[in-house]
Amino acid sequence: MEEKHKKILQRNRTNLVRDLDPSKLCDGLLEKGVFTQDMIDEIKSSGTRRDQARQLVRDLETRGSRAFPLFLQCLRETGQHSLAEILQNGAPTAQLQPATPTQPVRPVVQPLPVSSPMDVDKQSKDAVPVYPLQRPSTTPTPSPEKENIRPRAQGRTRRDSIQSELSNRKGSNIDCDKLERRFQALNFIVEVKTNLKQRQIKHELSALSKKDHSQYDCCVVIMLSHGTDVRHNRFPGAVYGVDGQHVPVQNITNYLNGQHCPSLQGKPKLFFIQACGGGERDTGFEVSPDEVEPSIGGADDQTDAIPMSSSSDSLSMSDEPDARVTLPTPSDILVSYSTFPGYVSWRDTQSGSWYVETMDRVLEENAATEDLVRMLMMVNQEVSQNSAKGLYKQMPGSFNFLRKLLYFQTQK
């Protein structure tokens, strides 16, 4: 989109978010080729009407030079004339040249692969464990390096190399096995989903949101994948499906929030994201020797980074949110990230990711007595002392919207 048209959208953002009806525009924008079906799906899953309008305007800025005049045309066709006039009055005359008619881009939806529990270990383990579904039975893959996982993260020796393409995540199967066993020990029903495409991730989350969770106390979703930085107005970052298409973290959380999953209202909804938050590598800053145990780098650490799609949000958040008469929509949600937004997350190809390795140990040693937030602080402390190549650092963190302390049930 031309810069002059972007500025018009930005100047009128408050009016657009307040008055725009995205539900009337989606079909027209799809048929005119302004948006793809995946973009329309993302807009519809963004939350309230205001949220959808906000997402639509953001996405519109990323489209081609014909997007703005076609948007005005759609506004008029759907009876939203006042908005069209406001935008038109601030825009230079835009002439629509005849375009070759095109068919809307409609991705082919493939059915989810169905496999027996005995086939789980035969699949690559870029896993998305979700709860509460029936637990598959898996056999952990033996690894001689697992004996080296037990010592605490004090000056550990690491061998690291770096990658920036969407490739096979060596070591992810180790993370998956650890987390499956750990949450089973915490009395969760666990199901592991592997090698999901973007639309399959959305399908699984949608199916999870429609289940009756009334007999359960908590829900956990864990994503093990490559990641990147994307535009956001709530939770940063996105995770990739095996098809190279990403799902924003804020959309992942939306499936289970108080608005879209009534049977989980008032219950903790936990999201653990083992993925890069972007492509930056943190070299840290110097501290006194008393502050941290030095750690040594090596050759087997990799990152889950994919080049950043956009870390800037040119649209301000000045518009007023919708009034609420009940609990806030994102209440009782906690999102724990393996790394700070914008930065890479490190994974050892032999022993798994730093974040999962540490979290598994912290949960094992402390879940019987400590609450979740305190344990995540322990994870932050330990991971922060690791180094890759003796140079690069990693800092986990979380967005906490829980209203109470959360203790796991450790007894059967």
User: Do residue 317 and residue 368 come from a single domain?
Assistant: yes
Task: Give me the number of domains the chain comprises.
Answer: 2
User: Do residue 156 and residue 210 come from a single domain?
Assistant: yes
Cβ proximity of 30 and 40 under 8 Å: yes
Pick the last residue of a domain from 73, 89, 105.
89
User: Do residue 374 and residue 238 come from a single domain?
Assistant: yes
How wide is the angle at C-alpha 74 spanned by C-alphas 29 and 233, nearest 5°? 60
pLDDT average, residue stretch 196-207: 94
Tokens of 166: 């969407």
User: Do residue 71 and residue 169 come from a single domain?
Assistant: no
Whether residue 352 lies inside any domain: the answer is yes
Whether residue 391 lies inside any domain: the answer is yes
Three-class DSSP category at 338? coil
Which residue, among 273, 233, 240, 278, has the nearest Cα to 48 in the 3D structure?
233
Three-class DSSP category at 224? strand
Share of the chain above pLDDT 90, in %: 33
User: Do residue 171 and residue 288 come from a single domain?
Assistant: yes
Tell me which of 294 and 118 has the higher pLDDT.
294
pLDDT average, residue stretch 216-241: 87
Tokens of 202: 């959305």
Which residue, among 392, 206, 227, has the nearest Cα to 295 in the 3D structure?
392
Q: Residue 286 CA to chain centroid, in angstroms? A: 31
Pick the last residue of a domain from 72, 89, 106.
89
Where residue 201 sits, what CATH number does that domain have?
Answer: 3.40.50.1460
CA distances from 9 to 70, 72, 74, 199, 352 (A): 14, 11, 15, 30, 45
Q: Residue 182 CA to chain centroid, in angstroms? A: 22
CA torsion sign for 80, 86, 91, 93 is positive
Helix locations, 21-111, DSSP H: 22-31, 37-44, 49-61, 67-77, 81-89
User: Which residues, in sequence order, are CB contacts of 280 under 8 Å at separation 6+?
Assistant: 342, 343, 344
User: Do residue 371 and residue 307 come from a single domain?
Assistant: yes
**How far is the C-alpha of 39 from the C-alpha of 48, rounded, in Å?**
16
User: Do residue 150 and residue 248 come from a single domain?
Assistant: yes
**pLDDT tens string 8-58:** 988 888 889 999 999 999 989 988 889 988 888 888 887 888 888 888 988
Residue 259 pLDDT exceeds 80: yes
Residue 244 pLDDT exceeds 70: yes
Burial class (CB in 10 A: 0-12, 13-18, 19+), 337: buried
User: Do residue 83 and residue 124 come from a single domain?
Assistant: no
**pLDDT tens string 80-107:** 999 998 898 875 444 445 544 445 555 4
User: Do residue 127 and residue 178 come from a single domain?
Assistant: yes
**pLDDT score of 169:** 53
Residue 115 pLDDT exceeds 50: no
Q: Which amino acid is at 277?
A: G
User: Do residue 85 and residue 142 come from a single domain?
Assistant: no
Whether residue 100 lies inside any domain: the answer is no
Whether residue 252 lies inside any domain: the answer is yes
Mean pLDDT (the chain, rounded): 74
pLDDT average, residue stretch 226-232: 79
* pTM, to two decimals: 0.54
CA torsion sign for 157, 161, 166, 170 is negative
Full residue range of the structural domain in which residue 219 is found: 117-400
Whether residue 141 lies inside any domain: the answer is yes
Tell me which of 154 and 284 has the higher pLDDT.
284
Whether residue 405 lies inside any domain: the answer is no
Tokens of 340: 């700070």
pLDDT average, residue stretch 211-235: 88
Helix axes 354-366, 172-185, angle to 10 degrees: 20
User: Do residue 271 and residue 135 come from a single domain?
Assistant: yes
User: Do residue 155 and residue 220 come from a single domain?
Assistant: yes
**pLDDT tens string 361-401:** 999 999 999 999 999 999 999 988 877 666 678 888 899 99
**pLDDT score of 145:** 29
Whether residue 108 lies inside any domain: the answer is no
Share of the chain above pLDDT 70, in %: 65
Where residue 60 sits, what CATH number does that domain have?
Answer: 1.10.533.10
Residue 298 pLDDT exceeds 70: no
Whether residue 269 lies inside any domain: the answer is yes
CA torsion sign for 258, 261, 267, 271 is negative
Pick the last residue of a domain from 74, 89, 104.
89
pLDDT average, residue stretch 64-82: 91
Active site residues: 226, 276
**pLDDT score of 161:** 32
Residue 159 pLDDT exceeds 60: no
